[in-house]
Amino acid sequence: MLTYLRKRIVSSALPLVVVIVGVFALARLTGNPASLYLPLNATDQMRADFAARNGLDQPLLAQMADYFGGVLQLDFGTSLRTGESAAAMALRAFPATLQLAATTMVLAIVLAVIVGSWAALKPNGVADRISSFISMAAASIPDFWLAIVGIWVFAITLGWVPTSGVAGAAAWVLPIGTLVMRPFGALVQVVRGAMVSALAEPYIKLARSKGASQSRVVTRHALRNAAAPALTVAGDLTVGLVNGAVVVETIFGWPGIGKLMIDSILQRDFAVLQACVLLTALAIFVLNIVIDLLYALLDPRVRPASAASRRAKARQAAVPVQSAPA
């Protein structure tokens, strides 16, 4: 398992570097920050002083080399807006995104397991068709459209929830309700398919012949074996939530890393933008590793063989097969 973990870390290092370089280059295509942070009548000397003070007077490759050197020393630069450490700003905003994504994913998994298991009990029945329609509709609705409609109906027209902010439990309703639809719709179909296959296995028939109740058959036997594929899809959807929260956080004013990214792009705060992207990429990388390890724990067939077992198999294969005496 440790060998597998090392290989995954090494294989993910190159994409991480590509992401850092890409964001570094694309951020500078948004324009010169001096046009935002200096007055309109700023002189050329004022612009030159601003560029020298913030390291923007160097060639692009030199700036990139300085940035990578700082990253290796855990120094991600300072914000052009506030003068605060970019890493500190990103770390302060990231827990809000994690809370939103984790709460949404837990709710989506619970609802999907209930609805998917209910649909799998009678394939092609009324419940199955209703759940399929609901899941397809939920997975097809764009997040930004659902967020705008939710604000118009529940916040403005009915006045049940606030339009933005994080004050109180009511402020969580619209962001979570918007983000939960897509993973719920996808997971229902995965759980339903896995449960249909599991319920058709011989061990399920054996459990039923021994008098096991329907709830015990579903929860103790079928659901356990259907958890592995659902976990894989849930992990991918969680990664998508961390990325997709950018739009939802901006619409609802959620103080997460997605909103901080948008603000940094609009204000050309390069250091903060780069710190946000790097932190998000690292979180996604760690999340993928955790998903792979959990999947290996649930399904022993995908566990990488240990070094000792590989050596034993090699020795066994090297032993010549002796023919029986004539």
Report how far residue 121's alpha carbon sits from residue 148's, in angstroms, rounded to the nearest whole number. 36
Give which of 142, 159, 143 is closest to 151, Cα–Cα. Answer: 159
* Within-domain flag for 106: yes
Q: What is the mean pLDDT of each run of 10 residues along the chain (326 residues)?
A: 68 76 77 73 80 79 82 80 86 88 88 86 83 86 88 90 82 89 88 81 73 69 71 77 78 87 83 85 80 67 50 43 44
User: Is 295 a member of any domain?
Assistant: no
The closest alpha carbon to 176, from 143, 127, 215, belongs to 143
Rg (CA), the chain: 26
Q: What is the predicted pLDDT for the residue at 309? A: 47
Q: Can you give the pLDDT at residue 152?
A: 92
Percent of the chain with pLDDT over 90: 2
- CB of 96 closer than 8 Å to CB of 258: no
Q: How many domains does the chain have?
A: 1
Place of tokens 């050329």: 44
Residues counted in the chain? 326
CATH of residue 228's domain is: 1.10.3720.10
Helix (H) or strand (E) holding 18: helix 2-27
- CA 312 vs CA 156, 180, 261, 309: distances in Å: 68, 48, 52, 5
For residues 198 and 210, what is the distance between their CA atoms, to the nearest angstrom? 17
- Residue 284 in domain: no
Determine the pLDDT at residue 47.
81
The verdict on residue 18 lying in a domain is: no
In a domain, 309, yes or no: no
Alpha-carbon gap, residue 174 to 170, rounded angstroms = 8
Separation between Cα atoms, residue 142 and residue 139, nearest integer Å: 8
What DSSP line would sit under 57-107, residue for residue?
A: SS-HHHHHHHHHHHHHTT---B-TTT--BHHHHHHHHHHHHHHHHHHHHHH
Question: 87-100 pLDDT, tens per residue?
Answer: 889 899 888 888 88
Give a yes or no: residue 54 inside a domain: no
69 domain-assigned: no
Does 52 map to a domain? no
pTM above 0.75, yes or no: no
The b/e string for 238-250 (b: 16+ C-beta within 10 A; e otherwise) is: bbbbbebbbbbbb
What is the span of the domain harbouring residue 104? 96-266
